[in-house]
Amino acid sequence: MASSSNVLGQVSTDTQLANGPDDGISGLSWSPLSRHLAVASWEGKVRIYDMTHTRSGEGRALIDFGGPALSCSWSKDGQKVIGAGADKAARLLDLASNGAPPQQVAAHDAPISSVHFFTPPSSNAPMIVTGSWDKTIKYWDLRQQSAVASVACQERVYSMDVKGDLLVTGTADRHINIIKLDNPTTFHQTLRSPLHHQTRVVSCFNDANGFAIGSIEGRCAFRFIDKKDTSLNFTFKCHRSPPANNITTAHAVNAISFHPQHGTFSTAGSDGTFHFWDKDTHMRIRAFPSAGGSISATAFSGDGGVFAYAVSYDWSKGYAGSSAQVPNKVMLHAVGEEECKPKGRGGERR
């Protein structure tokens, strides 16, 4: 175990995003090319903020929805933002369109829980993939009005991520579906989550050779795609309160984000803390103190220099846990090189 002075991070200098959403925050996404942040929230909007000239950000644009916005994503060229949510639609804002309003580009029969831009392996034209509580994944070509393909899942899609040619979904009843995008309508692998309780988040590795799973039981699992790498699979405990009266409280792992340069990763949960880890050495690089409320979403900026985390109610305690006293804000943490760079044998082993 490394000494606490080497692993305890600071949040006292973190900056709050100015004029953030007025309701629960469900998704964060950075432009891959600039310091622009998209924020999806239960107020029914995806807001876009510019952090280029101010640490606290300036509002630049928004996409309106007819219900809570649950997910948002940027195009690879940093020109377009897609959002989706409870009104069963996905809407696209083209920031280079000289003020043209957002356009609906996708629809499902139930709320859309996740939306992502991706580029098919055989094409340079960006496409969109949506995952929904109607138990389907759909692919959308922006040049067409209807979905180009649909894939039936076993259950409602709760979480989805895309990196390179890898797409992973986590559904209700702990199903995990793995798709290689060179064959987008066929499951490359399906499995039950190695974690024993409801899946909250799936997140692909940067090199697309595996993915992480977070659940409501305060545990994470890492799974590699190739059979030759299965010996590297592992699970670990996190976001658990110290035992009290011989009872340990487990908190939901709501978000897992990978650093774009170093490949290290963050976890964040309903205990209000986030941590930075190295998956290859199974070590914690930094632990951070509580932010004062559940952390519902996280994201590293494209250059890896800023870590955004949403302090917002995550519904882990149901309707009864929501109140006007629950904090609701997006915080911006300047990432130090020593906080996310792999440390080899340094750090705290889990």
CA dist list (Å): 58 to 15, 17, 61, 240, 336: 13, 8, 10, 36, 23
Q: Which two three-digit tokens encode residue 312? A: 């917002």
Q: DSSP letter at 250?
A: B
Kindly calculate the radius of gyration of the chain based on its CA atoms and give it in whole angstroms. 19
Instruction: Output the CA angle 293-347-331, nearest 5 degrees.
Output: 25
Q: Has residue 221 got a pLDDT over 60? A: yes
- When pLDDT is cut at 50, 70 and 90, the band that residue 248 belongs to is confident
* Closest to 171 measured CA to CA, from 196, 195, 200: 200
Q: Looking at the domain assignment, is residue 308 inside a domain? A: no
Q: Which domain holds residue 86?
A: 15-152
Q: Looking at the domain assignment, is residue 99 inside a domain? A: yes
Q: Looking at the domain assignment, is residue 71 inside a domain? A: yes
Tell me, what's the pLDDT at 3?
32
Q: Looking at the domain assignment, is residue 206 inside a domain? A: no
Q: What is the CATH number of the domain that holds 72?
A: 2.130.10.10
| Bridge partner list, 91 | 83, 104
Q: Looking at the domain assignment, is residue 87 inside a domain? A: yes
The tally of domains found in the chain comes to 1
Tell me, what's the pLDDT at 246?
82
Q: Looking at the domain assignment, is residue 229 inside a domain? A: no
Over residues 311-327, the pLDDT tens digits come to: 998 877 777 777 767 88
Spatial separation of the C-alpha atoms in residues 295 and 273, rounded to whole Å? 7
Q: DSSP letter at 321?
A: G
Over residues 276-308, the pLDDT tens digits come to: 999 999 999 999 999 999 999 999 999 999 999
Q: Looking at the domain assignment, is residue 289 inside a domain? A: no
Torsion of CA 299, 304, 305, 311, to 10 degrees: 10
Contact indicator for 52, 58 with CB cutoff of 8 Å: no
Spatial separation of the C-alpha atoms in residues 145 and 80, rounded to whole Å? 17
Q: Looking at the domain assignment, is residue 166 inside a domain? A: no
Spatial separation of the C-alpha atoms in residues 81 and 58, rounded to whole Å? 17
| Bridge partner list, 202 | 213
Over residues 28-57, the pLDDT tens digits come to: 999 999 999 999 999 999 999 999 888 889
The mean per-residue pLDDT over the stretch 120-127 comes to: 86
Tell me, what's the pLDDT at 53?
85
Contact indicator for 41, 23 with CB cutoff of 8 Å: yes
Q: What is the mean pLDDT of the chain?
A: 92
Q: What percent of the chain has pLDDT over 70?
A: 95
Residue with tokens 């399906």: 190
